Structure 1
Amino acid sequence: MSADTQERIISWHGNPSVPRFTPPPGAVDAHCHVFGPMAQFPFSAQSKYLPEDAGADMLFALRDRLGFSRNVIVQASCHGTDNSATLDAIAKSDGKARGVAVVDPAISDAELDRLHAGGIRGVRFNFLKRLVDNAPKDKFLDIARRVEALGWHVVVYFEADILEELRPFLDAIPTLIVIDHMGRPDVAQGPDGVDMRALRALLDSRDDIWMKVTCPDRLDAKGPPWDDFVAAVAPLIAGYCDRVLWGTDWPHPNMQDAIADDGALVDMVPRIAPTLELQRKLLIDNPISLYWPEAPPQWWSKAAPRSSC
């Protein structure tokens, strides 16, 4: 079905609430996306979904409504390896956004340098079969070795049932790794379930593996108020507080049948990170150190220095 005839989908809330929780000044939404606009940035012919436009202006308006200061924009699979929409949004952010790219294995060093100059600080490898047709581990490892020289990290997206299969691949990645959405564990199993134990074993194997503690709307089948997510994830944040990131996942790709209120997602933060110190690490210290390492510490926090969990 062509883009001209395929029905375009909306997966985001049209009027999200203003959260009751006020993010601390300098807080970063460290996982979000932009879609199009299609007339300017066409979607990939290999895309498994065709969204309505959700561009930079909409993202930054949401950022301000929710009380955040900065964004990390992750290349959406609907745009394939053409990072133009992500780069455009970063360029329009007045320095308040950085990005994670998806790249073709044959990308040139000059193009990697161009992406870096445009604000890209990581590369994403997607292993979800419903979103991508091919995930060549050997070529991904070659990319990981090349971006290490740029100081980038690698974001890996997979589902919990293939974690053991991916362990040799993850072990071979030479740079810092961020696990998208914690590897989509079954949060109904609780904090000591099989999936969480496997994730903890991965985190314990290397001290440079981080995770995004995101997407209760995707991971908690019971729906709001997402109590299973809180029970499973809060101990994880407490135990690995220096290696966690948080984001809205706006505009929530492929979630058109269960559209979440972004204000309600923000109100999850004090439930999974109940202390001011954990909130600062989750929303400010960790994402700033990864995406704006050049920023002086006093820029984002006057609080006490980082401490171990």
Structure 2
Amino acid sequence: MRDATTLSRPAFDMPARSCDAHMHVFGPLDRYPCVAHPHYTLPDGALPLYLKRMDRLSIARFVIVQPSFYGTDNRCLLDALRAAGPVARGVVMIDEDTDDATLARFHDAGVRAVRLDLFARSAERNDAIRAYIGRMAKRCAALGWHLQFYAPGWVVRNLIPLLDDVETDFVIDHMGYMIEEDGLTQADFAGLLALLRNGRCWLKLSAPYRIAKHRGYEAVAPMARGIIEAAPDKVIWGSDWPHIPDSTRDTGELLNLLGRWTADPAVRRAVLADNPARLFDYETETNHGRQP
């Protein structure tokens, strides 16, 4: 794990109440057991380590996203929300038969979205995936939550024509995961931008290293700029900390990419502060009894 004091400082003025809308927290295995066959080993991702990064980067708020490492066991996330207080929100993973009382308890803890692992469903037919999205959207709509899609770019591409009438807002992780090496084209990306402009879709500027592969961050810049220009009011930023599988990455460098993707302070304020405040319900009182 890279020491927080070595992270690059923000190269632009950070807006008040800036939010990291995508990070993960991990705890000891003896307290929070992982799924039977995780895709990676336990990273060093304790909440105190992340809080040091917040101070270094002038980040005031953050969203804890449930990792596939824990599946639908959200105990680590919920404990982290309790420890963090009103500056944090959560995105859980749930089974379809999760009862309403559990979801209400999650809401009181600061949860505002459900993450759908569409990598795990990528072998299913498009209509089956869309039906699953519809069922989960109905659960979220009752709580004022949104959906978050963790999906390969080719699944996103295939779903685009089917997502016009989703009942809730939905966020697609990692710029739609449209990786050139996976056969995604400029036409596919244009379709994603059209969905962003005209539907309930939001996009997350996160994990550019997953998109760039070995081509460097400049290869991602046209995509990021296109997303921001298409709908700056429906774009959020996330660090993807602790940057699995490489926790030596400079989180500050990743933040500073935003300054290269847009020079407009008003747009940066929207992406870092205004948009996540609206999407994650930061503007209303929580069970903690005060506004963060």
Q: TM-score range, shorter-chain basis? A: 0.7 to 0.9
The AA in structure 1 aligned to 2:137 is A
Quickly say closer, same or farther: Cα 1:288–1:180, change in 2 above 3 A: same
Q: Report the Cα distance in structure 2 between the residues aligned to 1:168 and 1:146, rounded to whole angstroms.
A: 22
Q: Unpaired segments of 5 or more residues in structure 2? A: 286-290
Work out whether 1:212 is the aligned partner of 2:204. Answer: yes
Match of 1:304 in 2: none
Q: Report the Cα distance in structure 2 between the residues aligned to 1:287 and 1:115, rounded to whole angstroms.
A: 19
Count matched residues: 280
TM-score by length of 1: 0.82
TM-score by length of 2: 0.86
Quickly say closer, same or farther: Cα 1:46–1:113, change in 2 above 3 A: farther
SS at match of 2:283: coil
* Aligned counterpart in structure 1 of residue 19 of structure 2, from 6, 19, 28: 28
The AA in structure 1 aligned to 2:28 is P
Match of 2:38 in 1: 47
- State how 1:120-139 maps to structure 2 within 5 Å: 120-129=111-120, 137=129, 138-139=131-132
Q: Report the Cα distance in structure 2 between the residues aligned to 1:83 and 1:282, rounded to whole angstroms.
A: 27
Residue 26 of structure 1, CA deviation: 1.1
Deviations 1:56-97 (A, max 9, x none): 111212211221001011101101001111111111112110
* Aligned counterpart in structure 2 of residue 180 of structure 1, from 173, 179, 182: 173
Residue 227 of structure 1, CA deviation: 0.9
Identity of aligned residues (%): 32
Match of 1:221 in 2: 213
Q: Report the Cα distance in structure 2 between the residues aligned to 1:97 and 1:268, rounded to whole angstroms.
A: 23
* Aligned counterpart in structure 2 of residue 268 of structure 1, from 257, 262, 266: 257
Answer yes or no: is the 8 Å Cα contact 1:203–1:210 preserved in 2: yes
Q: Report the Cα distance in structure 2 between the residues aligned to 1:20 and 1:117, rounded to whole angstroms.
A: 33
Answer yes or no: is the 8 Å Cα contact 1:211–1:243 preserved in 2: yes
Q: Report the Cα distance in structure 1 between the residues aligned to 2:157 and 2:180, rounded to whole angstroms.
A: 18
Q: Report the Cα distance in structure 1 between the residues aligned to 2:79 and 2:49, rounded to whole angstroms.
A: 13
Residue 13 of structure 1, CA deviation: 3.4
Work out whether 1:284 is the aligned partner of 2:270. Answer: no
Higher normalized helix content (fraction of residues) = 2
Quickly say closer, same or farther: Cα 1:239–1:168, change in 2 above 3 A: closer
Match of 1:158 in 2: 151
SS at match of 2:84: coil
The AA in structure 2 aligned to 1:274 is A
Deviations 1:173-192 (A, max 9, x none): 31011111121123699xx9
Answer yes or no: is the 8 Å Cα contact 1:233–1:272 preserved in 2: yes
Q: Report the Cα distance in structure 2 between the residues aligned to 1:143 and 1:235, rounded to whole angstroms.
A: 29
Q: Unpaired segments of 5 or more residues in structure 1? A: 1-11, 301-309
Match of 1:96 in 2: 87
Match of 1:245 in 2: 236
Say which is worse superposed, 132-141 or 47-56, in terms of deviation: 132-141
Q: Report the Cα distance in structure 1 between the residues aligned to 2:124 and 2:107, rounded to whole angstroms.
A: 25
Quickly say closer, same or farther: Cα 1:27–1:176, change in 2 above 3 A: same
Quickly say closer, same or farther: Cα 1:172–1:292, change in 2 above 3 A: closer
